[in-house]
Every structure is written in structure tokens, then in C-alpha cells.
Amino acid sequence: MAADFSVKPTLVGARVVVRPFADGDFPAIREALRDPEVVRLTGSRPIVWDEAAEARLREWYGTRGDQPDRLDLAVEERATGAWVGEVVLNEWDPRNETCNFRTMFGPRGRDRGLGTEAVRLLVGYGFEQLGLHRIGLEVYSFNPRARRAYEKAGFVAEGVLRDALRTPDGRADATVMSILADEWKGGQDQQG
């Protein structure tokens, strides 16, 4: 099966909806991108926020639905309808049927299990609908919360990239993790 990234799905879980971005998401996205904890956990640099930066980010998020080789989806909390984060399948390698995975959760989306559910929904879509064989990621050593969410979804550690990121506090390792289609299916068979 050839992966079709042109379809931008809406995936409904018990507590979250993973869906295409909407114009109304941007105030919460802005809040998340300005949050020092988001900057730290993603290994990003703080954005110097001005009108030009806002215009670039609005354009970037506005074009996510047009991307033919990746899925960038919003995570909405079902109970409130509020944007709480995003999940992404990118860096698609059609020859090897692999993708990279990443997440970002703002202050309203952390420490409540919403990330774990969103990870499971998009990983399941990647294997069951896109026909991926492997989904991989890197998680920094100072982000154990994300690592736990990935492990709960079935990702396993493959190795460590030592001193992969320079931070204001020194250097941090990145753990390379992945999940294979057979592992996902096996985990689903055990759950259901």
C-alpha cells in the first residue's frame, strides 16, 4: 500500500481529537510556542515574537493541510474543544516505509495523559492507514514525560546519541526510539 499523506484525518479518542489545524487554534499555538517549558522540552530556541514572526507562523500552520508528504495535526481536548498540542509524522521515506514522529504540547496539554492518547492515535493511523513499517523519533534526556508517553504507545529505545543537544545547562543526550508495524499490531492484539 502506498502511503497517502494528502488525506488529513480526524482521529477521535476517548479524551482527545487529533485533527487538521483550524484558524481558531492559533492563540493557543502562540501561547505554547512562547512557553519556556515548550522551548526547553523541544530543544528549540525562543522565538523573537513580532508581527513578522507571527505572520510566518500563521502561514506555516495554515499550509499544513497542503503538505503531500507529512501529517501535522492538532490535538484538541474533547471535553473543552481547546487546542492542547500537536502530533506530527514527517520525514517520510517511501522506499523504506518509515516516518519520523514528534509532538509538542502546550501548558494545557501536559500531565494529564492526553499526549499518550494522541501518540497512540497517530501511530495507529500511520501503521493501519498509511502502511508504514517503522516510526522513529528522538527524545531528549531531560524530557522523561515524553519518553514515558512514547513507551506507553509501544516505542522502544534503540540507542543514545550522546551530547546531541547543547542547552544553557550543558549538553543533553537524545534517545533514539522506534516502533515497528508488527510490534504495533502485536500490542493491539494484546489490548483487544
Domain boundaries, the chain: 11-191
Q: Report pTM.
A: 0.92
For residue 88, give the H/E element and its range.
Answer: strand 83-93
pLDDT tens, per residue, the chain with 192 residues: 678 999 999 999 999 999 999 999 999 999 999 998 888 888 787 778 889 988 999 999 999 999 999 999 999 999 999 999 999 999 999 999 999 999 999 988 888 889 999 999 999 999 999 999 999 999 999 999 999 999 999 999 999 999 999 988 899 999 999 999 999 988 776 655
Q: What does each C-alpha distance from 127 to 134, 142, 177, 180 come to in angstroms?
A: 8, 28, 16, 8
SS3 119: helix
Residue 44's nearest CA partner among 90, 101, 104 is 104
Q: Which fold has domain 11-191?
A: Aminopeptidase (3.40.630)
CB atoms within 10 A of CB 98: 17
Region label for 17, one of left (φ > 0), alpha (ψ between -120 and 50) or beta (otherwise): beta
